[in-house]
Amino acid sequence: MSLIIIEPHVAPLAILESAPRQLPGDPDAIVGSVSRAGNQFTLIAFVVLGERPAATDEGMSTQVRQQLAERVPPTLVPSKLYFLESGSMV
């Protein structure tokens, strides 16, 4: 089982990647950490959409963050979500 660890919190990666998968458009998601100043880390998520839903990126980000906020500590909610269309992948 893969884990995301941002001390003092630990969560299975599958939980963080499951929330974006509930968006319309049959998306897939990858969540990773990015180092910031010193030992500070932040989470980002890349969501690959099978088809672009009518919702805006901001609306989809809000929905994903709300779903995760119900399941994990605030430090484990990605601070930035990037939405990509599968056809734009090279």
| For the chain, domain boundaries | 3-88
For the domain with range 3-88, which CATH number is right: 3.40.50.11310, 3.40.20.10, 3.30.300.30, 3.40.50.150? 3.30.300.30
Q: What is the pTM of this model?
A: 0.68
pLDDT of 17-72, one tens digit each? Answer: 777 777 766 677 777 767 666 667 778 888 887 777 777 889 888 888 888 888 88
**Helices in the chain by DSSP H: which ranges?**
13-18, 57-69
Q: What span, in angstroms and rounded, lies between the C-alpha atoms of 13 and 10? A: 9
